[in-house]
Homo-oligomer: A and B are copies of this chain.
Amino acid sequence: MPPEVLLEMARPIIHHRTPEFSAILDQARERMQPLLGTKREVILLASSGSGAMEASVTNLLAPGDEAIFVNGGKFGERWGRILKAHGMVPHEIIVEWGRAVRPEQIIDALRARPNARAVFVQASETSTCAVHPIAEIGAAMRGRDVMLIVDGITSVGVFEQRMDEWGVDALVTGSQKALMLPPGLAMIALSDRALARASELKTPRFYFDLQRELRLQRDEHTTAWTAAVSLILGLNKALEMIHAEGLPRVYARHRLMAEAARAAGPALGLGLIAPDNPAPGVSGLLTPPGVDGAKVVRHMRDVLGVSVQGGQDQMKGKLVRIGHMGHVGPFDMLVAIGALELALEAGGYRFQVGAGVQAVQERLHRETWS
CB-based contact B225/A48 at 8 Å: yes
CB-based contact A207/B18 at 8 Å: no
Instruction: Say whether A185 faces chain B, with CB atoms less than 8 Å apart.
Output: yes
What is the chain B residue whose CB lies nearest that of A177? Answer: B226
Instruction: Say whether A229 faces chain B, with CB atoms less than 8 Å apart.
Output: yes
Instruction: Say whether A51 faces chain B, with CB atoms less than 8 Å apart.
Output: yes
Q: How far is the CB of A74 from chain B (nearest CB, A)?
A: 12
Complex copy number for this chain:
2
Q: How large is the interface on A (under 10, 10 to 19, 20 to 34, 35 or more residues)?
A: 35 or more
In the bound assembly, the distance between CA atoms of A9 and B10 in angstroms comes to 7
Instruction: Say whether A34 faces chain B, with CB atoms less than 8 Å apart.
Output: no
Q: How far is the CB of A199 from chain B (nearest CB, A)?
A: 15
Stretch in A23-31, A79-87, A143-151 touching the partner: A79-87
What is the chain B residue whose CB lies nearest that of A229? Answer: B182
207-221 of chain A: CB within 8 A of chain B: 207-209
Instruction: Say whether A205 faces chain B, with CB atoms less than 8 Å apart.
Output: yes
CB-based contact B208/A207 at 8 Å: yes
Q: Which residues of B contact A207 (CB under 8 A)?
A: 47-48, 50-51, 54, 208
Given contacts A184-B184, A204-B204, contact A174 B10 (CB under 8 A): no
Instruction: Say whether A7 faces chain B, with CB atoms less than 8 Å apart.
Output: yes
Instruction: Say whether A49 faces chain B, with CB atoms less than 8 Å apart.
Output: yes
Instruction: Say whether A15 faces chain B, with CB atoms less than 8 Å apart.
Output: yes
CB-based contact B204/A51 at 8 Å: no
Q: Which residues of B contact A204 (CB under 8 A)?
A: 58, 63, 85-87, 204
In the bound assembly, the distance between CA atoms of A176 and B183 in angstroms comes to 17
Instruction: Say whether A13 faces chain B, with CB atoms less than 8 Å apart.
Output: yes
What is the chain B residue whose CB lies nearest that of A174? Answer: B226
Given contacts A81-B206, A86-B204, contact A227 B46 (CB under 8 A): no
- Contact with A47, one of B10, B11, B18, B46 (Cβ below 8 angstroms): B46
Instruction: Say whether A230 faces chain B, with CB atoms less than 8 Å apart.
Output: yes
CB-based contact A231/B182 at 8 Å: yes
- Binary contact readout A154-182 vs B (1 if CB under 8 angstroms, 0 otherwise): 00000000000000000000101000001
Q: How far is the CB of A186 from chain B (nearest CB, A)?
A: 9
CB-based contact B226/A176 at 8 Å: yes
121-137 of chain A: CB within 8 A of chain B: none
Instruction: Say whether A248 faces chain B, with CB atoms less than 8 Å apart.
Output: no
Greatest chain B CB density within 10 A among A58, A86, A87, A228 is at A228
- Binary contact readout A328-348 vs B (1 if CB under 8 angstroms, 0 otherwise): 000000000000000000000
Instruction: Say whether A307 faces chain B, with CB atoms less than 8 Å apart.
Output: yes
Instruction: Say whether A247 faces chain B, with CB atoms less than 8 Å apart.
Output: no
The residues of A with any CB-CB pair to B shorter than 8 Å are 1, 6-7, 9-13, 15-18, 46-51, 54, 57-58, 63, 81-82, 85-87, 174, 176, 182-185, 204-209, 224-231, 301, 307, 309
